[in-house]
Chain A
């Protein structure tokens, strides 16, 4: 694994026109996989995840100039990725509102059309269970379960209190366990 410079250094390099592109490349490389997986778990298919990821980085390019360093780059990127994914899902929901009654169904269908999908396998049941959660709970669950994000950082990403996030996560985990056991 490549060692990346810390975020402060990368931001300083980004502000210098001569090193701007190099710094940006490093920021992408440093966070691309984490953000990709965060987005992928939200939008399900690779094509959609690729779209959202590229578009979010283009927005990052524009917004990074005015990025205030009182917040962390890492949580800021997660916030953009989350917002972009949710916006993408709501746009998709609008477009397909005639054929699909709700987006949960749409996402579950997307899961089921994955070539690897196997309804008998627990890991796929887990994915279906996650899609059955309300949107916000789903984000909280993913950030804690997969990204192992501390509640304190998550509270910056989602602009919600730590207590509420913790309650939301516990609720989600129990619901998911029940779903897996009963399906």
Chain B
């Protein structure tokens, strides 16, 4: 030991002789008895930490007995939580904003809304009820009559205009001549609605060769026929159907 210490002093003396001769003073201070109680302090700390750890693993008495009840009551509370309580806790800003009015409604809009809706329902019903309540074959026949009138008048309008085909205009019955005078769809519709049942029956009898059963069945397919529901939903359902049918019979006739 001595040998070692001497060696170190000699070494320092060689490197820094001044430093080697300086008195060695400890400038740092330690609290009184610090080292006397150090061991106790360390042991106490270890004990406290251990105790805390043990406590963490402990559960309050009876905790598990009431756990299921607690959870269930919480679920119940959440389930019955009103929308306003919910948004209050979710976002107070949104809860506050809810009362602000943005959209406006025309004055008295709600006063006669039900009347307007019932009017629409009744109008549609009077238009289609007679068709939807009759037998299926009658529906076909009615549609075929209208389609036929449209088809024939279309055909004859074309023929009438072509001067080469004078036979057609000479031999046609009066009501067909009448049909050919309609230039627009509106005029034609008016003409059709003015026809009496007898006119239609006469027409059907006299034009049986053109609009016979075969033509009807060929041009009318039950699957294609709009259902009464469709009439109610879409005012154009019947028109579209008739247009399609009349196009087809036009083709067949030509």
Please give the residue numbers on chain A whose beta carbons come within 8 Å of chain B beta carbons, in ascending order. Answer: 21, 24-25, 28-29, 32-33, 36, 40-41, 44, 46, 50, 53-54, 57-59, 61-62, 114, 116, 121-124, 126-127, 144-146, 148-151, 169-170, 173-174, 176-177, 180-181
Cα of A54 to Cα of B87 in the assembled complex, Å: 32
Query: Which one of A28, A40, A180 has the highest number of Cβ atoms from chain B below 10 Å of its Cβ?
Result: A28
CA distance A53 to B105 in the complex (A): 13
- With contacts A40-B103, A61-B121, A62-B232 taken as known, whether A145 is within 8 angstroms of B94 at the C-beta atoms is yes
Please choose the segment from B110-118, B176-184, B241-249 that sits at the chain A interface, where 4 or more of its residues have CB less than 8 A away: B110-118
Across the interface, which residues of B come within 8 angstroms of A124, CB to CB?
102
Give me the 9 closest cross-chain CB pairs, A-B, nearest first: A123-B100, A148-B83, A28-B114, A177-B91, A25-B114, A173-B90, A57-B117, A123-B102, A173-B91
Does B67 sit within 8 A of A, measured CB to CB? no
- State the majority secondary structure of interface residues on A: helix
Verify if B229 is at the interface (C-beta below 8 Å from A). yes
User: B94 and A21: CB pair below 8 A?
Assistant: no
The reply to whether A58 and B90 form a contact with Cβ atoms under 8 Å apart is: no
What is the bound-complex CA distance between A54 and B104, given in angstroms? 18
Q: Please, which residue of chain A has its CB at the minimum distance from the CB of B92?
A: A177
- B114 near A32: Cβ-Cβ < 8 Å: yes
CA distance A53 to B117 in the complex (A): 9
Is B58 among interface residues, defined by CB-CB distance under 8 A? Answer: no
Q: Which A residues touch B98, using CB under 8 A? A: 145-146
B interface residues, Cβ below 8 angstroms from A: 79, 82-84, 86-87, 90-91, 93-94, 97-98, 100-106, 109-110, 113-118, 120-121, 124, 229, 232-233
Tell me the dominant secondary structure on chain B's binding face: helix
Residue of A nearest to B98 (CB): A145
Closest to B115 in A: A25
Measured between beta carbons, the chain B residues less than 8 angstroms from A53 are: 113
10 contacts between A and B (CB under 8 A): A25-B114, A44-B103, A46-B104, A53-B113, A62-B229, A116-B104, A145-B83, A149-B83, A173-B91, A173-B94
Residues of chain B within 8 A (CB-CB) of A146 are 98
A54 touches B91 (CB 8 A): no
- Which residues on the A side are within 8 Å of B83 (C-beta)? 144-145, 148-150
A52 to B86, CA, bound (A): 30
In Å, the complex CA distance between A78 and B152 comes to 49
With A25-B118, A123-B97 given, name 5 new contacts (CB 8 A).
A36-B105, A46-B109, A61-B117, A123-B101, A126-B97
Contacts of B91 in A (CB 8 A): 173-174, 176-177
Tell me the minimal C-beta distance from B101 to chain A in angstroms. Answer: 7
Task: Given the known inter-chain contacts A28-B113, A32-B113, please indicate yes or no for A58 contacting B120, CB distance below 8 A.
Answer: yes
